[in-house]
Structure 1
Amino acid sequence: MAGESYRIAVCDDSAADAGYVRTLVERWAGRRGVAADVETFPSAERFLFRYGEDKAWDILLLDVEMGAMDGVTLARQIRRDSHAVQIVFVTGYTEYIADGYDVEALHYLVKPIDENKLATVLDRAAARLRTDERCIDVHADGGTARVPMRLIRYLDVRGNYVTIHADRDYTAKRSLSDAARDLDDRFVRVGRGLVVNLAAVRRVTRTTVLLDDGTELRLPRGAYETLNRAIITHG
């Protein structure tokens, strides 16, 4: 864990509570030897405004009971863009726990926050970010989105623009070679204009590759052998 870096948001309409949680997070980071860029927000709306400009967050600690927009509603908005960010709800009540399943919340912490319990939850969040949620940052649509690699099925290129096909399509002005450098070994380049996630491949023929969501992609000449070898090697 040492040497890692996390961007963490604390969203709470109580300045005292937000400051206290921030202090606990910074203590956790110090003990674990990681860098934590922690920002506090006094309302869901303020965070959502910031999120619209910059979506590259790792962990969100959200108060449930806030003003016009509550933490659960905010989390639903976030999940439209990202399934990578780790969401932890902070609340004085327990009746909201069922709502957490809808937004894939990592955990609920009940106020007053216990430092040891918070540290355990942050450890879990960091572990998820290190393993299951390896991500790439995509600069598209006037902002930055953090996209988990496991959700990416394939990338293709048209002109000077690459489209990443994941939970939704992200199109950015960059070369396919540049985009492929951000990916891990589960991805293979097939010809000049296509990169495929091997974990998403269901069937390969001489001319097409069928993905697990039903998408069928045409293979360029000579790509069948390359893709088959990659699948065997990936195992």
Structure 2
Amino acid sequence: MNYKIAICDDSAADRQYLYGLVGRWAANTGHTVQIALFPSAENFLFHYTEKNDYDILLLDIEMGDMDGVTMSKKLRQDNDTIQIVFITGYSDYISEGYEVAALHYLMKPVKQERLFSVLDRAAEKLSKNEKVLNIEIGGELVRIPVYQIRYADVFRNYVTIHASDTLTVKMTLGELEKKLDDRFYRVGRSVVVNLTQISRVTKTEIKLFDGVSIPLPRGAYDDVNRAIINMR
């Protein structure tokens, strides 16, 4: 596979170090990579307006005027597929990574085996994003990228799929589950939710990034959190 990878770090030494590691990962795995280096968040965003097709972003958090978390929030406004990996010397920012669906945190100095493992996961998730759900509605075939599905709920004999568009189709929730993958979790009897779309979990509800609240059945809190941890 061919991947476009951006490395954004205000330290020239760290940029070059990561550049070498990414090249080594590509050679070991047989992937082809195009690597672009950026010295600041502002510099990355300037170039991103023209070329916004990066697959993986290795992003330093502590940088100049704009930090990595702030930049990621801007990026997520129109890009929900790029795999963001935070690089940091501190553990204080980990909770903020959930806001931008960061794939992982790597602590400086970055170890080769840890980076290789994270890049393997990023490549796996990118390949999953190519999966498409084919739904026939009214004699028409509708193709839905699976990663776009935020959740699906059932009412009587119909399932409503909430993606970039909202579609209702006659099927059971169990039938839909078989067409999905391990990013999806069954919440009670009536909802399947995309774990990557969850921003917060409380004892009573699941909150998605788009603001939707899904009631959480009694006693399901620990199971949902375990599913999120295992997925990550």
TM-score category, normalised to shorter length: 0.5 to 0.7
CA contact (8 A) 1:190 1:196 kept: no
> Is residue 62–residue 88 contact of structure 2 (8 Å, CA) maintained in 1?
yes
**Residue 62 (structure 1) aligns with:** 59
TM-score (norm 1): 0.62
Contact kept, 8 Å, 1:9 with 1:39, in 2: the verdict is yes
Query: Who is 1:212 aligned against?
Result: 161
Residue identity opposite 1:12 in structure 2: D
Structure 1 counterpart of 2:11, which letter? Answer: S
TM-score, length basis structure 2: 0.62
- How far the C-alpha of 1:211 sits from its partner, in A, is 3.0
> CA contact under 8 A between 1:210 and 1:216: conserved in structure 2?
no
Q: Mind listing any 5+ residue stretches in structure 1 that lack a counterpart?
A: 135-148, 150-183, 219-223
The amino acid of 1:72's aligned partner reads: V
Contact 1:188/1:196 (<8 A) preserved:
yes
Match of 2:142 in 1: 195
How many residue pairs get matched? 170
* Structure 1 position 10, deviation (Å): 0.1
Pairwise CA distance, 1:204: 10
Q: Does 1:116 align with 2:65?
A: no
Alpha-carbon displacement from aligned partner over 1:95-154 (angstroms, at most 9, x marks no partner): 1111111111111111111111111111111111112x22xxxxxxxxxxxxxx6xxxxx
SS at match of 1:47: helix
| Farther-moved stretch of structure 1 (76-85 vs 17-26) | 76-85
Q: Give 1 or 2 for the bigger CA radius of gyration.
A: 1
Q: Percent identity?
A: 44
Aligned pair 1:21/2:18, yes or no?
Answer: yes
Output the CA distance in 2 between the equivalents of 1:87 and 1:26.
Answer: 18
Aligned to 1:130: 127
Query: CA offsets, 1:55-85, max 9 Å, x none?
Result: 2111100000111110001111111112211
**Paired residues of 2:161 and 2:167 also in contact (CA < 8 A):** no
Gaps of 5+ in 2: 180-232
- Partner-residue secondary structure (3-state), 1:49: helix
Q: CA 1:201–1:94 in structure 2 vs 1: closer, same or farther (change >3 Å)?
A: closer
Matches of 1:76 and 1:217, distance apart in 2: 28
Runs ≥4 residues deviating over 6 A: 191-194, 214-218, 232-235
| Change in CA separation of 1:217 and 1:83 when aligned onto 2, cut-off 3 Å | closer
The alignment's C-alpha RMSD in Å is 3.2
